[in-house]
Structure 1
Amino acid sequence: MRVLVVGEAATWLGGLQVALQTETNVTPPVLRHVDSVATPDWVWLRELPSRRALVLDESVARTPAVHTLCAIAAECVPPVPVIVVGDAGFPDEIIRWLQAGVAACLPWPNSVARIRSVFDLAFSGGRFVPEEALSALLVLWRQEALGEALPLSRLPVFPLGGDKATQLAESALLGISQRQYEILALLSRGLSIKTICQQLVISEGTAKTHVSALYRRLGARNRGEAIYIAAQRGARHLFET
Protein backbone atom coordinates (compact mmCIF):
# COMPACT_ATOMS: atom_id res chain seq x y z
CA MET A 1 0.00 0.00 0.00
CA ARG A 2 1.20 3.48 -0.88
CA VAL A 3 -0.34 6.57 0.70
CA LEU A 4 0.54 10.10 -0.37
CA VAL A 5 -0.29 12.48 2.49
CA VAL A 6 -0.68 16.16 1.63
CA GLY A 7 -0.74 19.03 4.12
CA GLU A 8 0.22 19.55 7.73
CA ALA A 9 -0.86 16.17 9.14
CA ALA A 10 1.51 16.58 12.09
CA THR A 11 -0.97 15.41 14.71
CA TRP A 12 -2.17 12.24 12.99
CA LEU A 13 0.48 11.06 10.52
CA GLY A 14 2.13 8.62 12.95
CA GLY A 15 -1.23 7.30 14.12
CA LEU A 16 -2.30 6.67 10.54
CA GLN A 17 0.87 4.72 9.82
CA VAL A 18 0.26 2.50 12.86
CA ALA A 19 -3.44 2.02 12.07
CA LEU A 20 -2.77 0.92 8.49
CA GLN A 21 -0.09 -1.55 9.55
CA THR A 22 -1.48 -5.08 9.08
CA GLU A 23 -0.03 -8.48 9.95
CA THR A 24 3.70 -8.71 10.61
CA ASN A 25 4.33 -10.89 7.53
CA VAL A 26 2.70 -8.41 5.16
CA THR A 27 4.60 -5.54 3.54
CA PRO A 28 3.86 -2.46 5.68
CA PRO A 29 2.16 0.57 4.14
CA VAL A 30 4.46 3.27 2.79
CA LEU A 31 3.45 6.83 3.58
CA ARG A 32 4.95 9.81 1.78
CA HIS A 33 4.27 13.20 3.36
CA VAL A 34 4.46 16.40 1.30
CA ASP A 35 3.23 19.96 1.78
CA SER A 36 2.10 20.18 -1.86
CA VAL A 37 1.97 17.61 -4.65
CA ALA A 38 4.55 17.76 -7.46
CA THR A 39 4.89 15.60 -10.57
CA PRO A 40 7.40 13.17 -8.92
CA ASP A 41 4.86 12.54 -6.16
CA TRP A 42 2.22 11.47 -8.68
CA VAL A 43 4.79 9.24 -10.41
CA TRP A 44 5.63 7.62 -7.06
CA LEU A 45 1.96 7.08 -6.27
CA ARG A 46 1.25 5.50 -9.67
CA GLU A 47 4.22 3.11 -9.62
CA LEU A 48 2.37 0.33 -7.85
CA PRO A 49 -0.84 -1.13 -9.30
CA SER A 50 -1.96 -2.26 -5.84
CA ARG A 51 -3.66 -0.22 -3.14
CA ARG A 52 -2.95 3.50 -3.34
CA ALA A 53 -4.57 6.50 -1.72
CA LEU A 54 -4.24 10.27 -1.68
CA VAL A 55 -4.85 11.58 1.83
CA LEU A 56 -5.50 15.27 2.39
CA ASP A 57 -5.25 17.12 5.66
CA GLU A 58 -8.42 19.10 6.30
CA SER A 59 -6.45 22.35 5.82
CA VAL A 60 -5.78 21.33 2.19
CA ALA A 61 -9.34 20.11 1.66
CA ARG A 62 -10.59 23.59 2.53
CA THR A 63 -8.63 25.18 -0.34
CA PRO A 64 -9.44 25.26 -4.07
CA ALA A 65 -6.60 22.75 -4.58
CA VAL A 66 -8.94 19.94 -3.54
CA HIS A 67 -10.70 20.10 -6.93
CA THR A 68 -7.45 19.78 -8.89
CA LEU A 69 -6.12 16.97 -6.72
CA CYS A 70 -9.37 14.99 -6.97
CA ALA A 71 -9.48 15.46 -10.75
CA ILE A 72 -5.92 14.17 -11.22
CA ALA A 73 -6.52 11.26 -8.84
CA ALA A 74 -9.64 10.29 -10.81
CA GLU A 75 -7.63 10.18 -14.05
CA CYS A 76 -5.19 7.60 -12.68
CA VAL A 77 -5.62 3.98 -13.79
CA PRO A 78 -7.12 2.64 -11.65
CA PRO A 79 -8.46 5.82 -9.98
CA VAL A 80 -6.79 6.79 -6.71
CA PRO A 81 -9.28 7.37 -3.87
CA VAL A 82 -8.98 10.71 -2.07
CA ILE A 83 -9.51 10.69 1.69
CA VAL A 84 -9.75 13.76 3.94
CA VAL A 85 -8.43 13.23 7.47
CA GLY A 86 -8.74 15.58 10.42
CA ASP A 87 -11.41 17.48 12.30
CA ALA A 88 -13.97 16.65 9.64
CA GLY A 89 -15.72 20.01 9.78
CA PHE A 90 -19.29 21.00 9.09
CA PRO A 91 -21.68 18.96 6.93
CA ASP A 92 -21.76 21.63 4.22
CA GLU A 93 -17.97 21.36 3.92
CA ILE A 94 -18.17 17.59 3.68
CA ILE A 95 -20.81 17.87 0.95
CA ARG A 96 -18.51 20.16 -1.03
CA TRP A 97 -15.64 17.69 -0.64
CA LEU A 98 -17.81 14.82 -1.86
CA GLN A 99 -18.93 16.90 -4.83
CA ALA A 100 -15.26 17.60 -5.63
CA GLY A 101 -14.57 13.85 -5.76
CA VAL A 102 -13.43 12.98 -2.23
CA ALA A 103 -14.15 9.32 -1.44
CA ALA A 104 -14.14 9.51 2.35
CA CYS A 105 -14.03 11.98 5.21
CA LEU A 106 -12.32 10.41 8.22
CA PRO A 107 -12.65 12.27 11.55
CA TRP A 108 -9.55 12.17 13.71
CA PRO A 109 -8.89 10.67 16.21
CA ASN A 110 -10.61 7.40 15.34
CA SER A 111 -10.32 3.72 16.13
CA VAL A 112 -7.93 1.45 14.23
CA ALA A 113 -10.86 -0.69 13.07
CA ARG A 114 -12.73 2.34 11.71
CA ILE A 115 -9.63 3.71 9.95
CA ARG A 116 -8.95 0.38 8.21
CA SER A 117 -12.59 -0.07 7.25
CA VAL A 118 -12.79 3.43 5.75
CA PHE A 119 -9.66 2.81 3.66
CA ASP A 120 -10.95 -0.61 2.57
CA LEU A 121 -14.23 0.99 1.53
CA ALA A 122 -12.42 3.70 -0.45
CA PHE A 123 -10.19 1.13 -2.16
CA SER A 124 -13.28 -0.81 -3.25
CA GLY A 125 -14.83 2.28 -4.82
CA GLY A 126 -17.19 3.14 -1.97
CA ARG A 127 -17.67 6.34 -0.04
CA PHE A 128 -17.70 7.10 3.68
CA VAL A 129 -19.60 9.98 5.27
CA PRO A 130 -19.36 10.76 9.01
CA GLU A 131 -22.56 10.46 11.00
CA GLU A 132 -22.68 14.22 11.61
CA ALA A 133 -23.14 14.92 7.88
CA LEU A 134 -25.86 12.38 7.13
CA SER A 135 -28.75 14.67 8.09
CA ALA A 136 -27.52 17.40 5.76
CA LEU A 137 -27.03 14.92 2.93
CA LEU A 138 -30.53 13.54 3.37
CA VAL A 139 -31.94 17.05 3.14
CA LEU A 140 -29.96 17.69 -0.03
CA TRP A 141 -31.08 14.43 -1.64
CA ARG A 142 -34.69 15.14 -0.69
CA GLN A 143 -34.53 18.56 -2.31
CA GLU A 144 -32.97 17.06 -5.45
CA ALA A 145 -35.68 14.39 -5.63
CA LEU A 146 -38.31 17.14 -5.49
CA GLY A 147 -36.51 19.14 -8.14
CA GLU A 148 -35.76 21.87 -5.63
CA ALA A 149 -32.03 21.46 -5.09
CA LEU A 150 -30.60 24.07 -2.77
CA PRO A 151 -27.64 26.18 -3.89
CA LEU A 152 -24.47 25.50 -1.88
CA SER A 153 -24.85 28.79 -0.01
CA ARG A 154 -28.10 27.45 1.50
CA LEU A 155 -27.07 23.90 2.30
CA PRO A 156 -27.90 22.97 5.90
CA VAL A 157 -25.09 23.93 8.26
CA PHE A 158 -25.98 21.92 11.31
CA PRO A 159 -24.44 23.20 14.54
CA LEU A 160 -23.96 19.67 15.79
CA GLY A 161 -20.73 18.93 13.93
CA GLY A 162 -18.44 17.32 16.47
CA ASP A 163 -18.60 14.84 19.30
CA LYS A 164 -22.14 13.43 19.65
CA ALA A 165 -21.67 12.56 23.32
CA THR A 166 -20.73 16.18 24.11
CA GLN A 167 -23.81 17.48 22.32
CA LEU A 168 -26.12 15.09 24.16
CA ALA A 169 -24.42 15.91 27.47
CA GLU A 170 -24.90 19.65 26.94
CA SER A 171 -28.57 19.29 26.01
CA ALA A 172 -29.05 17.19 29.16
CA LEU A 173 -27.15 19.79 31.18
CA LEU A 174 -29.55 22.47 29.98
CA GLY A 175 -32.59 20.26 30.41
CA ILE A 176 -33.67 20.62 26.79
CA SER A 177 -34.23 18.21 23.93
CA GLN A 178 -31.69 17.63 21.17
CA ARG A 179 -33.92 19.49 18.69
CA GLN A 180 -34.17 22.44 21.09
CA TYR A 181 -30.39 22.34 21.41
CA GLU A 182 -30.07 22.56 17.61
CA ILE A 183 -32.40 25.54 17.53
CA LEU A 184 -30.58 27.27 20.38
CA ALA A 185 -27.28 26.84 18.54
CA LEU A 186 -28.77 28.40 15.41
CA LEU A 187 -30.30 31.22 17.47
CA SER A 188 -26.86 31.90 18.94
CA ARG A 189 -25.62 32.51 15.39
CA GLY A 190 -28.16 35.27 14.97
CA LEU A 191 -30.31 33.37 12.46
CA SER A 192 -33.95 34.33 11.98
CA ILE A 193 -36.82 31.91 12.56
CA LYS A 194 -37.38 31.73 8.80
CA THR A 195 -33.74 30.77 8.18
CA ILE A 196 -33.83 28.21 10.99
CA CYS A 197 -36.87 26.63 9.31
CA GLN A 198 -34.88 26.33 6.08
CA GLN A 199 -31.86 24.90 7.88
CA LEU A 200 -33.81 22.24 9.79
CA VAL A 201 -36.52 21.69 7.15
CA ILE A 202 -39.41 22.35 9.53
CA SER A 203 -42.43 24.64 9.36
CA GLU A 204 -42.46 28.08 10.95
CA GLY A 205 -45.15 26.97 13.37
CA THR A 206 -43.06 23.99 14.49
CA ALA A 207 -39.99 26.20 14.93
CA LYS A 208 -41.92 28.71 17.05
CA THR A 209 -43.31 25.89 19.19
CA HIS A 210 -39.77 24.61 19.82
CA VAL A 211 -38.51 28.11 20.60
CA SER A 212 -41.34 28.72 23.11
CA ALA A 213 -40.64 25.37 24.80
CA LEU A 214 -36.93 26.16 24.81
CA TYR A 215 -37.49 29.50 26.54
CA ARG A 216 -39.75 27.89 29.14
CA ARG A 217 -37.20 25.18 29.89
CA LEU A 218 -34.42 27.73 30.35
CA GLY A 219 -36.55 30.30 32.12
CA ALA A 220 -35.71 32.88 29.45
CA ARG A 221 -37.88 35.60 27.95
CA ASN A 222 -36.02 36.04 24.68
CA ARG A 223 -33.12 34.92 22.52
CA GLY A 224 -30.50 36.94 24.37
CA GLU A 225 -31.52 35.59 27.78
CA ALA A 226 -31.60 32.01 26.46
CA ILE A 227 -28.06 32.31 25.09
CA TYR A 228 -26.82 33.93 28.32
CA ILE A 229 -28.40 31.27 30.53
CA ALA A 230 -26.96 28.46 28.39
CA ALA A 231 -23.49 29.98 28.65
CA GLN A 232 -23.82 30.44 32.41
CA ARG A 233 -24.77 26.78 32.79
CA GLY A 234 -21.63 25.68 31.00
CA ALA A 235 -22.82 24.90 27.46
CA ARG A 236 -19.46 25.72 25.88
CA HIS A 237 -19.68 23.48 22.81
CA LEU A 238 -22.84 25.27 21.75
CA PHE A 239 -20.81 28.32 20.74
CA GLU A 240 -17.79 26.58 19.19
CA THR A 241 -19.31 25.93 15.75
Structure 2
Amino acid sequence: MSAPIRVLLVDDHAVMRAGFRMILESAGDIVVVGEAATGVEAVAAASTLRPDVISMDVQMPAMDGLEATRRIVADTGIESAVVVVTTFDRDDYLFDALAAGASGFLLKNAGPEELIAAVRVAAAGDALLAPEVTRRVIARFATPPASLPDPPRERARPAVDLTEREAEVLRLVAQAMSNAEIAQRLYIGEATVKTHVSNVLQKLGARDRVAAVVYAHRHGLA
Protein backbone atom coordinates (compact mmCIF):
# COMPACT_ATOMS: atom_id res chain seq x y z
CA MET A 1 0.00 0.00 0.00
CA SER A 2 1.40 3.40 -1.00
CA ALA A 3 2.02 6.12 1.57
CA PRO A 4 -0.81 8.61 2.06
CA ILE A 5 -0.66 12.04 0.43
CA ARG A 6 0.53 14.55 3.04
CA VAL A 7 -1.29 17.89 2.94
CA LEU A 8 -0.76 21.28 4.58
CA LEU A 9 -3.92 23.40 4.89
CA VAL A 10 -3.45 27.18 4.72
CA ASP A 11 -6.47 29.39 5.41
CA ASP A 12 -7.11 32.18 7.90
CA HIS A 13 -10.53 30.75 8.78
CA ALA A 14 -10.38 27.87 11.24
CA VAL A 15 -13.83 26.62 10.21
CA MET A 16 -12.71 26.37 6.58
CA ARG A 17 -9.59 24.44 7.58
CA ALA A 18 -11.69 22.08 9.69
CA GLY A 19 -14.04 21.47 6.78
CA PHE A 20 -11.20 20.81 4.34
CA ARG A 21 -9.55 18.45 6.83
CA MET A 22 -12.74 16.43 7.21
CA ILE A 23 -13.26 16.21 3.44
CA LEU A 24 -9.68 15.28 2.58
CA GLU A 25 -9.14 12.73 5.33
CA SER A 26 -12.42 11.01 4.43
CA ALA A 27 -10.74 10.00 1.14
CA GLY A 28 -8.60 7.40 2.91
CA ASP A 29 -5.39 8.11 1.00
CA ILE A 30 -4.88 11.68 2.25
CA VAL A 31 -3.68 12.89 5.64
CA VAL A 32 -3.50 16.51 6.83
CA VAL A 33 -0.12 16.98 8.50
CA GLY A 34 -0.44 20.63 9.44
CA GLU A 35 -2.38 23.87 9.30
CA ALA A 36 -1.45 27.54 8.92
CA ALA A 37 -3.49 30.74 9.22
CA THR A 38 -1.14 33.19 7.47
CA GLY A 39 1.30 33.20 4.60
CA VAL A 40 4.19 33.55 7.02
CA GLU A 41 3.06 30.46 8.92
CA ALA A 42 2.59 28.63 5.60
CA VAL A 43 6.18 29.23 4.49
CA ALA A 44 7.53 28.08 7.85
CA ALA A 45 5.27 25.00 7.96
CA ALA A 46 6.15 24.04 4.38
CA SER A 47 9.84 24.14 5.25
CA THR A 48 9.38 22.09 8.40
CA LEU A 49 6.74 19.56 7.32
CA ARG A 50 7.66 19.16 3.62
CA PRO A 51 4.09 18.15 2.63
CA ASP A 52 3.28 16.66 -0.75
CA VAL A 53 0.56 19.23 -1.41
CA ILE A 54 -0.32 22.63 0.06
CA SER A 55 -3.89 23.92 -0.14
CA MET A 56 -3.33 27.70 -0.20
CA ASP A 57 -5.85 30.46 0.45
CA VAL A 58 -5.16 33.89 -1.09
CA GLN A 59 -6.44 36.62 1.21
CA MET A 60 -4.70 36.26 4.57
CA PRO A 61 -3.07 38.60 7.10
CA ALA A 62 0.69 39.15 7.41
CA MET A 63 1.43 37.65 3.98
CA ASP A 64 -1.07 36.65 1.31
CA GLY A 65 -1.15 33.24 -0.31
CA LEU A 66 0.32 34.43 -3.60
CA GLU A 67 3.51 35.72 -1.97
CA ALA A 68 3.68 32.60 0.20
CA THR A 69 3.40 30.47 -2.95
CA ARG A 70 6.24 32.40 -4.62
CA ARG A 71 8.51 31.85 -1.64
CA ILE A 72 7.66 28.16 -1.28
CA VAL A 73 8.13 27.43 -4.99
CA ALA A 74 11.39 29.41 -5.05
CA ASP A 75 12.80 27.32 -2.18
CA THR A 76 14.61 24.47 -3.91
CA GLY A 77 14.51 22.47 -0.70
CA ILE A 78 10.71 22.30 -0.77
CA GLU A 79 9.10 20.09 -3.40
CA SER A 80 5.50 20.62 -2.35
CA ALA A 81 2.87 21.25 -5.02
CA VAL A 82 0.71 24.28 -4.25
CA VAL A 83 -2.98 24.35 -5.11
CA VAL A 84 -4.51 27.80 -4.66
CA VAL A 85 -8.06 27.49 -3.30
CA THR A 86 -9.95 30.77 -3.12
CA THR A 87 -13.45 32.20 -2.85
CA PHE A 88 -12.69 34.90 -5.39
CA ASP A 89 -12.97 34.10 -9.10
CA ARG A 90 -10.64 36.91 -10.15
CA ASP A 91 -8.32 36.94 -13.14
CA ASP A 92 -5.55 38.69 -11.23
CA TYR A 93 -5.56 35.96 -8.57
CA LEU A 94 -5.64 33.25 -11.25
CA PHE A 95 -2.75 34.55 -13.35
CA ASP A 96 -0.67 35.69 -10.39
CA ALA A 97 -1.06 32.22 -8.85
CA LEU A 98 0.14 30.54 -12.05
CA ALA A 99 3.01 33.01 -12.38
CA ALA A 100 3.98 32.26 -8.78
CA GLY A 101 4.32 28.58 -9.67
CA ALA A 102 1.07 27.13 -8.32
CA SER A 103 0.20 23.68 -9.66
CA GLY A 104 -3.53 24.29 -9.52
CA PHE A 105 -6.30 26.82 -9.03
CA LEU A 106 -9.60 25.83 -7.49
CA LEU A 107 -12.61 27.81 -6.26
CA LYS A 108 -14.01 27.17 -2.79
CA ASN A 109 -17.46 26.48 -4.23
CA ALA A 110 -16.04 23.26 -5.70
CA GLY A 111 -17.55 20.02 -4.46
CA PRO A 112 -15.74 17.74 -1.98
CA GLU A 113 -14.84 15.28 -4.75
CA GLU A 114 -13.20 18.09 -6.74
CA LEU A 115 -11.05 19.10 -3.77
CA ILE A 116 -9.93 15.51 -3.24
CA ALA A 117 -9.22 15.11 -6.96
CA ALA A 118 -7.19 18.34 -6.99
CA VAL A 119 -4.96 17.08 -4.19
CA ARG A 120 -4.44 13.73 -5.90
CA VAL A 121 -3.65 15.37 -9.24
CA ALA A 122 -1.16 17.79 -7.69
CA ALA A 123 0.50 15.00 -5.70
CA ALA A 124 0.95 13.03 -8.93
CA GLY A 125 2.86 15.95 -10.43
CA ASP A 126 0.04 17.10 -12.69
CA ALA A 127 -1.51 20.55 -12.95
CA LEU A 128 -5.17 21.28 -12.41
CA LEU A 129 -7.40 24.25 -13.17
CA ALA A 130 -11.01 24.67 -12.17
CA PRO A 131 -13.20 24.14 -15.26
CA GLU A 132 -14.53 27.68 -14.86
CA VAL A 133 -11.12 29.24 -15.45
CA THR A 134 -9.51 26.93 -18.03
CA ARG A 135 -10.98 28.81 -21.00
CA ARG A 136 -9.73 32.13 -19.60
CA VAL A 137 -6.19 30.77 -19.26
CA ILE A 138 -6.23 29.57 -22.85
CA ALA A 139 -7.65 32.88 -24.06
CA ARG A 140 -5.06 34.85 -22.12
CA PHE A 141 -1.97 32.94 -23.18
CA ALA A 142 -2.86 31.17 -26.42
CA THR A 143 -4.44 33.99 -28.40
CA PRO A 144 -1.98 36.26 -30.22
CA PRO A 145 -2.42 40.04 -29.68
CA ALA A 146 -4.95 41.63 -32.05
CA SER A 147 -2.28 43.95 -33.41
CA LEU A 148 -0.26 41.05 -34.78
CA PRO A 149 -1.09 39.38 -38.12
CA ASP A 150 -2.29 35.80 -38.10
CA PRO A 151 0.63 33.41 -38.51
CA PRO A 152 0.88 31.54 -41.81
CA ARG A 153 -0.89 28.19 -41.75
CA GLU A 154 2.37 26.27 -42.01
CA ARG A 155 3.65 27.99 -38.88
CA ALA A 156 0.80 26.41 -36.90
CA ARG A 157 2.67 23.13 -36.83
CA PRO A 158 4.79 22.33 -33.75
CA ALA A 159 8.13 24.13 -33.69
CA VAL A 160 9.77 21.29 -31.77
CA ASP A 161 10.49 17.72 -32.76
CA LEU A 162 7.88 15.73 -30.84
CA THR A 163 7.48 12.06 -31.60
CA GLU A 164 4.07 10.88 -32.76
CA ARG A 165 3.38 9.44 -29.31
CA GLU A 166 4.53 12.61 -27.54
CA ALA A 167 2.26 14.73 -29.74
CA GLU A 168 -0.60 12.37 -28.93
CA VAL A 169 0.08 12.68 -25.19
CA LEU A 170 0.25 16.48 -25.52
CA ARG A 171 -3.16 16.54 -27.20
CA LEU A 172 -4.64 14.58 -24.30
CA VAL A 173 -2.91 16.80 -21.73
CA ALA A 174 -4.54 19.76 -23.51
CA GLN A 175 -7.90 18.05 -22.91
CA ALA A 176 -7.19 18.28 -19.15
CA MET A 177 -6.65 14.52 -18.81
CA SER A 178 -4.61 13.22 -15.90
CA ASN A 179 -1.73 10.77 -16.39
CA ALA A 180 -3.98 7.92 -15.27
CA GLU A 181 -6.67 8.88 -17.79
CA ILE A 182 -4.10 9.18 -20.60
CA ALA A 183 -2.69 5.77 -19.71
CA GLN A 184 -6.15 4.25 -19.90
CA ARG A 185 -6.89 5.97 -23.22
CA LEU A 186 -3.63 4.88 -24.87
CA TYR A 187 -3.42 1.43 -23.22
CA ILE A 188 0.02 2.13 -21.78
CA GLY A 189 1.41 2.28 -18.25
CA GLU A 190 1.07 5.39 -16.13
CA ALA A 191 4.85 5.47 -15.62
CA THR A 192 5.26 5.55 -19.40
CA VAL A 193 2.85 8.48 -19.60
CA LYS A 194 4.88 10.36 -16.98
CA THR A 195 8.00 9.78 -19.06
CA HIS A 196 6.29 11.09 -22.20
CA VAL A 197 4.94 14.15 -20.36
CA SER A 198 8.37 14.87 -18.92
CA ASN A 199 9.92 14.62 -22.39
CA VAL A 200 7.26 16.91 -23.85
CA LEU A 201 7.80 19.56 -21.18
CA GLN A 202 11.55 19.40 -21.68
CA LYS A 203 11.29 19.71 -25.47
CA LEU A 204 8.81 22.59 -25.23
CA GLY A 205 10.82 24.35 -22.55
CA ALA A 206 7.56 24.43 -20.57
CA ARG A 207 7.63 24.79 -16.80
CA ASP A 208 4.45 22.81 -16.22
CA ARG A 209 1.39 21.27 -17.84
CA VAL A 210 -0.44 24.59 -18.00
CA ALA A 211 2.30 26.00 -20.24
CA ALA A 212 2.12 22.83 -22.35
CA VAL A 213 -1.64 23.27 -22.76
CA VAL A 214 -1.09 26.84 -23.95
CA TYR A 215 1.47 25.58 -26.47
CA ALA A 216 -0.90 22.92 -27.73
CA HIS A 217 -3.70 25.42 -28.34
CA ARG A 218 -1.33 27.93 -29.94
CA HIS A 219 -0.10 25.30 -32.40
CA GLY A 220 -3.42 23.68 -33.19
CA LEU A 221 -2.70 20.44 -31.31
CA ALA A 222 -5.57 20.62 -28.84
Give the aligned residue type for 1:69: T
Query: d(CA) in 2 for partners of 1:147 and 1:68?
Result: 36
Gaps of 5+ in 1: 149-241
Equivalences for residues 1-241 of structure 1 within 5 A: 1-22=5-26, 28-38=31-41, 40-46=44-50, 52-60=52-60, 66-67=66-67, 69-77=69-77, 79-144=79-144
Distance change (3 Å), C-alpha of 1:132 and 1:12: same
Contact 2:70 2:100 in 1 (8 A): yes
Paired residues in the alignment total 142
CA shift for structure 1 position 17:
0.6
Distance 1:43 1:74 in 2: 12
Q: Is the 8 A contact 1:88 1:105 kept in 2?
A: no
One-letter code of the match for 1:120? R
Pair 1:68–1:56, CA change in 2 (3 A)? closer
* CA shift for structure 1 position 68: 5.0
What is the root-mean-square deviation of aligned Cα atoms in Å?
Answer: 3.2
Q: Which residue of 2 aligns with 1:228?
A: none
Larger radius of gyration: 1
Letter in 2 for 1:20: L
Q: Secondary structure of the equivalent of 1:58?
A: coil
Instruction: Report how far residue 81 of structure 1 moved.
Output: 0.8
Amino acid at match of 2:100: A
Equivalent AA in structure 2 for residue 3 of structure 1 = V
Normalising by structure 1, we get a TM-score of 0.48
Q: CA offsets per residue over residues 180-206 of structure 1, 9 Å max, x none?
A: xxxxxxxxxxxxxxxxxxxxxxxxxxx
Q: Given the two structures, how large is their TM-score scaled by the length of structure 2?
A: 0.51
Counterparts in 2 of 1:89 and 1:23: CA distance versus 1, 3 Å: closer
Q: What displacement does 1:67 show?
A: 3.8
Q: Secondary structure at the match of 1:84?
A: strand
In structure 2, do the counterparts of structure 1 residues 60 and 147 end up closer, same or farther at CA, with 3 Å as the change threshold?
A: farther
* Consecutive unaligned residues in structure 2, runs of 5 or more: 149-222
Cα gap change, 1:14 to 1:109, in 2 (>3 Å): farther
Quote how far apart the aligned CAs of 1:54 are.
2.3
Q: 1:132 to 1:52 in 2, by over 3 A?
A: same
How many angstroms apart in 1 are the aligned matches of 2:80 and 2:107? 20
Aligned sequence identity (%): 18
Instruction: Specify whether residues 84 and 40 from structure 1 end up closer, same or farther in structure 2 by C-alpha distance, changes over 3 A only.
Output: closer
Distance 1:115 1:17, change over 3 A: same
What displacement does 1:98 show? 0.8
CA distance in 2, matches of 1:116, 1:71: 25
Partner Cα separation in structure 1 for residue 20 and residue 64 of structure 2: 25
What's the offset of the Cα at 1:86? 2.5
- Measured in 2, the distance between the counterparts of 1:40 and 1:67 equals 13
